[in-house]
């Protein structure tokens, strides 16, 4: 089976991420969304909440599994019998960082390939941080995230506002 792993922090998952998952399902038999705890990014949602939101946002997509992983990505990819790391390329500015990650991952494990998908143009400027900023300032994010994610963002950020 041709398995791809789509790693990320997903704090929270956006329509840009689900667009990448949908596209990668055209190429892979199964896509494992691998949610990294990434404490260095001080996530707004804990890893269990992020996994839950990814599951909600992908519930209508067959052949998608959602897991969390610790440690090196290439180890996880191997353990799952996957062939490739899936990443999204939104703009030229993503390229340098993605190039570095792909080469490091290749150095760590020659058998793991990195493949890149381009999201729909209207999602090319999205990041999880920008969505948190908009939601935190009372803006609407319904066009960018699953309705349940939008609700959780409102609840969480309301609690955070003094
Ligand atoms: N639509 C919307 N947003 C997108 C997107 C898309 N298609 N693609 C990426 N993004 C966003 C992400 O949400 C994130 O936004 P944020 O910074 O506001 O949170 C940003 O673009 C990209 O962040 P980046 O740090 O590149 O990736 P990540 O946080 O999604 O995940 C890991 C990074 C988990 C893949 C990486 O840290 C990793 O592999 N960790 C494991 C340890 C390891 O193996 N290290 C060695 C290899 S690097």
Is the C-beta atom of 129 inside 6 A of ligand 1?
yes
Q: Is the pLDDT of residue 162 over 70?
A: no
pLDDT in tens, 87-135: 999 988 899 999 999 999 999 999 999 999 999 999 999 999 999 999 9
Q: Is 93 a catalytic residue?
A: no
Pair 36, 69: CB distance under 8 Å? yes
CA–CA separation, 130 and 136 (whole Å) = 10
Q: Is 59 a catalytic residue?
A: no
Pair 76, 105: CB distance under 8 Å? no
Pair 78, 109: CB distance under 8 Å? yes
- The domains found in the chain, sorted by start residue, are 3-124 (3.40.50.620)
How much is the pLDDT for 158? 79
């Amino acid at each position: 089976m041709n398995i791809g792993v789509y790693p990320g922090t997903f704090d929270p998952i956006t329509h840009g991420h689900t667009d990448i998952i949908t596209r990668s399902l055209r190429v892979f038999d199964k896509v494992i969304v691998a949610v990294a705890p990434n404490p260095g990014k001080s996530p707004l949602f804990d890893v269990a909440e992020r996994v839950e939101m990814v599951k909600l946002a992908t519930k209508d997509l067959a052949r998608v599994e959602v897991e969390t992983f610790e440690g090196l990505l290439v180890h996880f990819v191997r353990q799952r019998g996957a062939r490739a790391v899936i990443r999204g390329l939104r703009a030229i500015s993503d390229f340098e960082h993605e190039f570095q990650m792909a080469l490091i991952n290749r150095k760590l494990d020659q058998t793991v390939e990195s493949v890149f998908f381009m999201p729909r143009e209207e999602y090319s400027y999205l990041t999880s941080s920008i969505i948190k900023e908009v939601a935190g300032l009372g803006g609407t994010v319904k066009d960018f995230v699953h309705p349940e994610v939008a609700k959780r963002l409102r609840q969480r950020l309301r609690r955070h506002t003094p």
